[in-house]
Structure 1
């Protein structure tokens, strides 16, 4: 018994000793802050501070030194205990670069880490999830990549995690254990997959911001369990299905954003339970049905945005009374109908500043009560409806109005004089109505106007001279009216004017030299008027002009040489006038012109051969009967330019010289015939080895190409093709080139080489890749082409790091269409490319697109066959190629149409979502025109606006532009060849779309 008691006593003493040791170790650790110092120094070593040009440059390097206690370092906050431990690290906006050190996980007392708004890259260390006391983790607005570590979503102390605006990818962690979490913001990344089911178990959540990613699946109904939720932001993703009715359970919700998804179904009536909701964004989805009456219970609503859906039915007449705090109401681009009586209730919304009802089916008249709307109203858009009657005079009471859009309706009568009281008005769209009367002279009182757009009406009389008082004016469009007399001189004194369209009116008089005062002008369209006299040479001083149309007037005299100074002009039309004299040689300087029309004039003399004239279509020069030269356009040859003053001297010289020259020529002819007879057999033997390009370009020896490409090293490999590889190189003279080396073991490679040589040797166009040289023998064949530093289009189309603007995409489409137009309609022999796709479109240093890879194209022609045996690009191939096998230019048109649809949607025609008869075109047809914004590539949207919900007026413009582009693609890609438009029709369509983008 005593032994047993002694044993128990010893065991108890051992346990006490172990406990004492552990406690002592913990106390020692708490009393030792050396790990904090080493962690901070490791972080300093992994980052650099600077490069931002601000006061924070190198501040960490200068401040974080061991000469001072680390608790005094900038951004570091320590506890009050001894020894002090780091509890907060805030280095937000310090221009930090580098990576996040995993050693930060050793700051065991850290409760707040804020590294936001820097340029940190790399991945988020998984070790951060080990920080036991961390409550705030803010890494937003950096360049971080890779997945979100699962450990981050399993931190028992975490309250706020901010990771938005990075490059994070992968799916959200599926296992979520965050018992204290209140805010999760991971918006604007590259995340995929579904919303984790476990997220709905975080009952303390108040904010969820997942917008601007690529998340898929449906919005889980379990999200309705988060009763504390105040902000739910899921916009700009790829969610499908219906809006769950359970969202109606979130009675504390203040902000709900579901815009830019693929949601369907109706708006749940349960959303009427969201009595605290202040902002509701459901725009750019496929939502159908009417707006439920229960929604008007959300009496605290300030922003209601349901634009770009398929909503139908009338709008409740009690809308404004139910939502008195409404500031912004967006219902554009739906199929809402009925009268506009609900506008009367909106007079109750005294803070209303934005009302957008564009492109619906509203009818009736604009009620006079519009004049009683809030004086805070800045944007009033009701364009593209079926509204009749007069413009209410009361609109002149809306003293804060900035933009007024009433276009594309059936409005009649005159412009009320009361509108001229709108001193803050900047944009005025009244086009495409049935308005009459004159443009009032009082318009000059609206000195802040930037846009006057009144096209397609019945305005008559003079254009008021007071328009010159509007110094802010940038856009004037009065086209297709009945305006007459002369264009007021004051118009030419507007230094900020960018766009002028007075076409299809009855203006008379001269084009004065004062036009040179339009220092910023980019587009001038004066076609179809009665302007006369000489074309002012002062136009040549405005090198900002990209579009100039003076056609269908009465201009006479010579074309000024100074117009050749319009170096940036892309469209120039002087047709249907009475111009005479020669075509100015200076026109050869117009490097960027895509369309030059001089037809139906009285021009004479030789047609220049340089640049634009080497590609000009005969239709752009026709009905100038005294022109000569350009045999490829079937104009007569020019007579020899022999002057009478020197002809007799030349004849005397010929009298003595000609016999001697003739004798020498006869000898040379005999000798050449002898040599030709000897060499004929050699020529036959070597003809198969000689490149067809040799008649046009110098040959480059193999050894020079080997040097240029570093012996065709993998480091210089640009890409692989079905019949060879393409390398980047630099010739001995320093010229950068692309060397296309054929794999002669591939069947047909030599014939494709010959085909591409012959094709590229014959064509010359700004939008076709240029051949520089060749290297060819029995064992080696290569084409030396101009190097395209921005590589192929597919590299940009599916890049995660680079994003082009909408204007750049349109320029690329226009470039490709111009290249095809040349091949189909302007070259003496029709050339069908047969393999148009993104990888065959290259981009030079200025992002000018050039069509490449003509192996199949010329092969069709030199064999004189209409066969598609060599065409194997699935997705871009015209349907008839698989059935009849016939090759025509309309096959290229089909490929171009698919290419356009691919550019707009970011979807490959061979995407896994397409199968059988359901293809890219069918998918787009299902969405067009009502759900265009749902199918548009998010990269295009992001390149235009950083926050689309705040730019609904610009969204409308973007929608119309994208709809027009899609329409071009659909016209080109019709199943039946004879229903497709031709490339010569596509070019002006894209040019018009581009001009619309430039204007807006």
Structure 2
């Protein structure tokens, strides 16, 4: 006999002792009946019995005191009785005691259930605190003590449950803070801790729970700000943090939760504005921000949330026009009540926005006027100064150009290069890359040169050498590193280049002994921009550099920028707007379409230039950011109000309120004046 089920009938009276004669019985299911009396020891002392379900009956009494010894094979026990005894079987895998009238504390002996996978004792009157021995249930996957009268703290011992998938501790009287180690249980899928008295803040380690789907902490007494690490919960679909005491702003990182469907932040003390990044949460259906202290306007970008069905921002300090497109067409006026000065369509029961189109037009005019003023006050004087500096500098160029021209008319032999570089000595090594190395050399006349020697052991290096020769032989621009000559035989290939005594832009950005002021950084980036304009529009065939980064921007003795390293550059033929390549540039500077598809165009250079421009003024390497955050996003999050927090500290005085002297000469300040970096 495999099992004996009682659900097909409705039984009354006591359970007959004769059942104990069924020695091959494996499952005894008598749930949902009107059985009374107590459970006889002989009935459950059946060696093959694995599952007992006696729930929803009128059984009286408690479980037998020696239950742990007489149930050696029990895997599942469903029992609705007046108490839960301390002695239980170590073979038990599932323990359900739902909606009993258990009024005792959880016995410490529960920690001996080493095989337990599923523990559910919800809907009872359990008291005192969660025993420390719970940490011994190392195999536990589902932990449910919902709707009891538990008190005390959630201690660190719960973090020992490394296989835990779901934790339900809601509707109790638990207090204190969430353990910091909670983020170490990376198997967690659902956290339900609502309707308690938890305080303190959300630990940043919560961001480690990459597979978390549900986070419910409502209501409690939690304080502090929402950690930006909440943006790491990429799998989460529901976050309910309502009816707590959180304050400050909603972190912008919450816009990265692409799977989020339900977000409730109601009844808090949140401040600041609604982050525009929320418009990126494409699957959002429920968003409740009511009963807070939020100010600012409702971002019109939220019209992109086509799945949004519930959007409540009532009882805040919002102002401005309520968007009318997208999901806002179907929202109730009740969702916008009790705000400072919202206006818009009459169906929202708010006053119309007075001459809103005129206000927007005036605002655009004001912005244009400000831009023209910025150009007039900053860029025009700077242009004149730069032209004057270059005029003074160019007066000395002909002599140097004549010297290089004389050298280039002479053929430099392989042995002369060896002599000039001291046989390619390591002491003369300037830098080394994927396709070769660059050495400093001194010719017999005393002229300094740079010798770029190709690594002939790499097949790609041959193509790189040929490409660079093909490109550079047709280019003439003052901001390109000049090629003096080349040297090539079966065992040696090298380019002889003009020597740049001040090294690269990368050296000045990241070595502490070198500092560039804002004037120098601006001048260098203008030089690079002029070079790109020439490559893209000033040549007979547009040239795409394909690998712009600070280490290939070299600086001559006057700190003029010279672009170098055309080993993977591309020439666009006639009527070509773009082309494909299998050669990838440096990570962090690659345009998205270049990295994904190998599609290169002049726009790729412009993208890389933009990344390098941000890097130059913030001194932050684009590859130092974790996760999905990029340098471009990091900067955009700080605009326009916190730009002074992201610029390179070397450009800011100790008081942090003004830029260095070079910047102040431009009229750049942080007290109402024009801020160039914005």
TM-score by length of 2: 0.51
Q: Which residue matches 1:354? A: 76
Residue 339 of structure 1: CA displacement? 2.8
Measured at CA, do residues 389 and 585 of structure 1 come closer, stay the same or move farther in structure 2, by a change above 3 Å?
same
1:314 alignment counterpart:
37
The corresponding residue for 1:294 is 18
Aligned mates of 2:144, 2:311 — CA distance in 1: 31
Question: What residue is the counterpart of 2:223 in the other structure?
Answer: 508
C-alpha distance in structure 2 between counterparts of 1:452 and 1:337, whole Å? 30
Instruction: Report the counterpart of residue 411 of structure 1 in structure 2.
Output: 126
Q: Does structure 1 residue 494 correspond to structure 2 residue 209?
A: yes
- SS of residue paired to 2:103: strand
- After TM superposition, the structure 1 = structure 2 runs for residues 690-839 of structure 1, keeping only pairs within 5 Å, are none
1:536 is matched with: 251
Residue 402 of structure 1 and its aligned partner are, at CA, apart by 0.6
Deviation at 1:473, TM superposition (A): 0.8
Contact 2:119 2:143 in 1 (8 A): yes
In structure 2, relative to structure 1, the CA distance for the partners of 1:611 and 1:438 (3 Å cut) is same
Deviation at 1:306, TM superposition (A): 2.6
Distance of 1:455 and 1:319 partners within structure 2:
38
* Residue in 2 that maps onto 1:634: 349
Q: Distance in 1 between matches of 2:302 and 2:96?
A: 44
1:339 to 58, 61, 78: 61
How far apart in 1 are the matches of 2:223 and 2:176? 12
- Is the 1:368–1:394 Cα contact (8 Å) retained in structure 2? yes
The correspondence of residues 849-928 of structure 1 with structure 2, limited to 5 A, is none
In structure 2, C-alpha distance between the alignment counterparts of 1:493 and 1:570, rounded to whole Å: 25
Conserved? CA contact 1:424–1:446, under 8 Å: yes
Do the aligned residues in 2 keep the contact of 1:353 with 1:378 (CA within 8 Å)? Answer: yes
Matched, 1:367 2:85: yes
Query: 8 Å contact 2:86–2:107 — kept in the other structure?
Result: yes
Deviations 1:406-438 (A, max 9, x none): 111001011111110111111110111111110
In the alignment, structure 1 residue 279 sits paired with structure 2 residue 14: no
Provide the residue aligned with 1:478 in structure 2. Answer: 193
Task: Please say if residues 17 and 43 of structure 2, whose CA atoms lie closer than 8 Å, have aligned partners that are also in contact.
Answer: no
SS at the partner of 2:20?
A: helix
SS across alignment from 1:562: helix
d(CA) in 1 for partners of 2:339, 2:18: 70
Q: Distance in 2 between matches of 1:425 and 1:280?
A: 29
Deviation at 1:549, TM superposition (A): 0.6
Q: Supply the distance in 2 between the matched residues of 1:646 and 1:480 (Cα, whole angstroms).
A: 50
> Number of aligned pairs?
363
Question: CA offset at residue 348 of structure 1?
Answer: 1.0
Contact 1:317 1:345 in 2 (8 A): no
Q: 1:282 and 1:396 mapped to 2: Cα distance?
A: 32
Question: Residue in 1 aligned with 2:394?
Answer: none
Give, in angstroms, the shift of residue 331 of structure 1.
2.5
What's the counterpart of residue 53 of structure 1?
none
Q: CA 1:645/1:564 → structure 2, altered by over 3 Å: closer, same or farther?
A: closer
Once residues 382 and 421 of structure 1 are traced to their aligned partners in structure 2, the CA distance between those partners, rounded to angstroms, is 20
In the aligned structure 1, how far is the partner of 2:68 from the partner of 2:43?
Answer: 4
Does the Cα contact within 8 Å between 1:320 and 1:342 map onto a contact in 2? no
Q: How far did 1:397 drift? A: 0.5
Asked if the contact 2:134/2:157 (under 8 Å) is kept, the reply is: no
Aligned to 1:938: none
d(CA) in 2 for partners of 1:502, 1:645: 45
Helix, strand or coil: the match of 2:164?
coil
1:317–1:586 Cα change, 3 Å? farther
Shift of 1:345: 4.0
Distance 1:318 1:531, change over 3 A: same
- Decide whether the 8 Å contact of 2:309 with 2:331 is kept in 1: no
Question: What secondary structure sits across from 1:543 in the alignment?
Answer: coil
| CA separation of 1:418 and 1:558: change in aligned 2, threshold 3 A | same
C-alpha change, 1:584 and 1:314, in structure 2 (3 Å) is farther
| Residues 952-987 of structure 1: CA deviation (Å, up to 9, x unaligned) | xxxxxxxxxxxxxxxxxxxxxxxxxxxxxxxxxxxx
Please list every run of 5 or more consecutive structure 2 residues that lacks an aligned counterpart in the other structure.
366-678
Q: Find out whether 1:580 has 2:295 as its counterpart.
A: yes
2:276 is the alignment partner of 1:552: no
> What's the CA shift for 1:346?
6.1
Query: Structure 1 pair 287/584, CA: closer, same or farther in 2 (3 Å)?
Result: farther
1:551 shift after superposition: 0.6
Call closer, same or farther: CA 1:561–1:335 in 2, change over 3 Å.
Answer: same
What is the CA–CA distance in structure 2 between the aligned matches of 1:482 and 1:430, rounded to whole Å?
15
SS across alignment from 1:380? strand
Structure 1 residue runs of 5 or longer lacking an equivalent are 1-253, 255-277, 650-1000
Q: Can you list the C-alpha shifts for 1:129-148, whole angstroms capped at 9, x where unaligned? A: xxxxxxxxxxxxxxxxxxxx
Change beyond 3 A, Cα 1:502–1:645? closer
- Describe the SS at the equivalent of 2:159: helix
Partner of 1:41: none
Q: After TM superposition, give the deviation of residue 534 of structure 1 in Å.
A: 0.7
Question: Distance in 1 between the 2:69 and 2:141 partners?
Answer: 23
Residue of structure 2 equivalent to 1:426: 141
Residue 392 and residue 644 in structure 1: after superposition, are their counterparts in 2 closer, same or farther (change >3 A)? closer
- In the alignment, which residue of structure 1 is the partner of 2:51? 328
Equivalent-residue separation in structure 2 for 1:343 and 1:518 (angstroms): 46
List per-residue Cα deviations over 1:752-784 (Å, max 9, x = no partner). Answer: xxxxxxxxxxxxxxxxxxxxxxxxxxxxxxxxx
Report the 3-state secondary structure (helix = DSSP H, G, I; strand = E; otherwise coil) of the residue aligned with 1:575: coil
Bigger shift: 397-406 or 609-618? 609-618
Q: Could you tell me how far 1:575 is from its partner in structure 2?
A: 0.6
Whether contact under 8 Å (1:317, 1:341) holds in the other structure is no
1:601 aligned onto 2:601: no
Shift of 1:481: 0.9
Alignment of 1:378-417 (within 5 A): 378-417=93-132
| Residue pair 1:596, 1:620 contacting (<8 A) in 2 also | yes
Cα deviation for residue 320 of structure 1 reads 5.3
The yes-or-no answer on 1:445 pairing with 2:160 is: yes
Deviation at 1:321, TM superposition (A): 4.7
Contact 2:17/2:40 (8 A) holds in 1: no
Distance 2:225 2:175 in 1: 20
Alignment of 1:139-288 (within 5 A): 254=1, 278-283=2-7, 286-288=10-12
Which SS does the other structure have where 1:294 is aligned?
helix
Looking at structure 2, the residues matched to 503 and 284 of structure 1 have their Cα atoms a distance apart, in angstroms, of 41
* TM-score (structure 1 length as normaliser): 0.35
| 1:615 matched residue in structure 2 | 330
Give distance in 2, aligned partners of 1:539 and 1:337: 51
Aligned partner of residue 313 in structure 1, secondary structure = strand
Residues 123, 147 of structure 2: 8 Å contact kept: yes
Work out which of the residue numbers 304, 308, 331 in structure 1 matches 2:28. 304
How far does residue 576 in structure 1 lie from its aligned partner after superposition? 0.6
- Per the alignment, residue 90 of structure 1 pairs with none
> Using a 3 Å threshold, how does the CA distance of structure 1 residues 425 and 379 change in structure 2: closer, same or farther?
same
**Local SS of the residue matching 2:278:** helix
**Map of 1:559-570 to 2, 5 A cutoff?**
559-570=274-285
Deviation at 1:295, TM superposition (A): 2.5
Question: Relative to structure 1, is the Cα distance of residues 321 and 403 closer, same or farther in structure 2, using a 3 angstrom cutoff?
Answer: closer
Q: For structure 1, which segment, 614-623 or 520-529, has the greater mean C-alpha deviation from structure 2 after superposition?
A: 614-623
On the 8 A contact 1:325/1:350 being kept in 2, the answer is no
Structure 1 distance, partners of 2:149, 2:284, is: 34
Cα deviation for residue 493 of structure 1 reads: 1.4
